[in-house]
């Protein structure tokens, strides 16, 4: 397996361990979005990343997801979307502005209800509200604020961790 060195602006995919990881994986399975990846983050500069966490979006060391698991697979894979240097800089700048954005487990519930067929303007408004985000929403929001359209016409806030496997990581 070829080793990839993540660059600023790349998107990282990983698995959450423990009960939270199990619950996120189960939620993704229920909404027919099962994926081995249950967490998404944005690579920043200076060997850092930003990720949505229950206490709010925060910056961590990229080393957090370096190396391999006990089974020998990488702790994280990275999506290189073929970005220009300028796009990478803009994504990093926009991602840094999202530090502290509150996390909302209710976003998972709202996404599940919506994907299972329940439609309402109120639910749509709640999902689209960028005042609270899960990890996958935060990553796509940083890209979109930087002018990088990742998923085409899809509402960015309807993105779950499994949707990022669209780039071939499954």
In this prediction, residues 23-33 reach a mean pLDDT of 67
| pLDDT reported for residue 122 | 80
Q: pLDDT tens across 53-78, in order?
A: 988 999 999 999 998 888 888 899 99
Domain ranges of the chain: 11-167
Higher pLDDT, 83 or 15: 83
Weakest-pLDDT range from 14-18, 34-38, 56-60: 34-38
| pLDDT reported for residue 146 | 97
Q: pLDDT tens across 97-156, in order?
A: 999 999 877 776 777 777 777 777 887 776 776 688 888 889 999 999 999 988 775 566
**b/e per residue, 13-51, with b = 16+ CB within 10 A?**
bbbbeeeeeeebbebbeebebebbbbbbbbbbeeebbbb
Residue 1 pLDDT greater than 50, yes or no: no
Q: Quick one: DSSP state of residue 101?
A: P
Find the length of the chain. 170
Q: At what angle do helices 135-145 and 85-96 cross, to 10 degrees?
A: 130
170 band by pLDDT with thresholds 50, 70 and 90: very low
| pLDDT reported for residue 121 | 80
């Amino acid at each position: 397996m070829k080793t990839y060195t993540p660059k600023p602006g790349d998107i990282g995919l990983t698995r959450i361990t423990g009960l939270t990881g199990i619950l996120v994986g189960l939620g993704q399975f229920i909404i027919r979005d099962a994926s081995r990846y249950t967490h998404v983050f944005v690579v920043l500069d200076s060997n850092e990343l930003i990720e949505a966490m229950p206490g709010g979006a925060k910056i961590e060391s990229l080393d957090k997801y370096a190396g391999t698991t006990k089974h020998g697979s990488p702790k994280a894979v990275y999506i290189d979307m073929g970005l220009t240097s300028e796009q990478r800089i803009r994504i990093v700048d926009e991602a840094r502005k999202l530090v502290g954005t509150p996390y909302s487990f209710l976003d998972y519930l709202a996404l599940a209800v919506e994907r299972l067929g329940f439609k309402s303007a109120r639910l749509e408004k709640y999902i689209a509200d960028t005042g609270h985000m899960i990890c996958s929403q935060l990553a796509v929001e940083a890209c979109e604020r930087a002018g990088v359209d990742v998923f085409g016409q899809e509402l960015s806030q309807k993105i779950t961790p499994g949707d990022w496997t669209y780039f071939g990581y499954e």
